[in-house]
Amino acid sequence: MPPYNKMLALYLQQNLIFLCGGKDYEGYNVKNESFFYLITDEPLKRAMSEIIMPIPTDMSERTIMKSKYSTNKFQKMASMSRKRYGHFGIFHMQLRCVFVFGGYNEKDEPISSCEKYSIMESMFDRM
């Protein structure tokens, strides 16, 4: 399950990140999988912490604001045509696609090709 080492992560729009490729944590398997990572923030909630007593006569409570996530999911997409890690990419807004460049294959050889990866329109319509 993602995220993987040396995978590409691109911010597409608020609360939507595109992830692809990478190596598993053992470093043996290069991946061609791709995912959308969806994050939806809940309103900030107060969490009470322990009572802090810096000076014995001064007892105060400290509140911490924390962000909780109602959705924190990886949504699997169609796989890339090539397995790669250590690659980079750009998102082209008008074409609604990601261009993935370079990286390394399973034999740790450099990849000198570019791959165009179309992003589903429906994903943007839901956000």
What per-residue confidence (pLDDT) applies to 43?
A: 52
Q: Which secondary-structure segment (H or E) carries 126?
A: helix 121-126
**How many domains does one find in the chain?**
1
What per-residue confidence (pLDDT) applies to 78?
A: 84
Three-state SS annotation for 66-110: ECCEEEEEEEEECCCCCCCECCEEEEECCCCEEEEECCECCCCCE
Within-domain flag for 21:
yes
Among residues 27, 33, 12, the alpha carbon closest in space to that of 83 is found at 33
Within-domain flag for 53:
no
Range of the domain at 79: 8-41+70-126
What per-residue confidence (pLDDT) applies to 71?
A: 57
Average pLDDT over all residues of the chain: 76
Within-domain flag for 49:
no
Among residues 73, 66, 99, 80, the alpha carbon closest in space to that of 15 is found at 73
CB 73 within 8 A of CB 38: yes
pLDDT, one tens digit per residue, over 42-95 is 555 554 444 444 554 544 444 444 444 445 678 888 888 899 999 999 999 888
Within-domain flag for 37:
yes
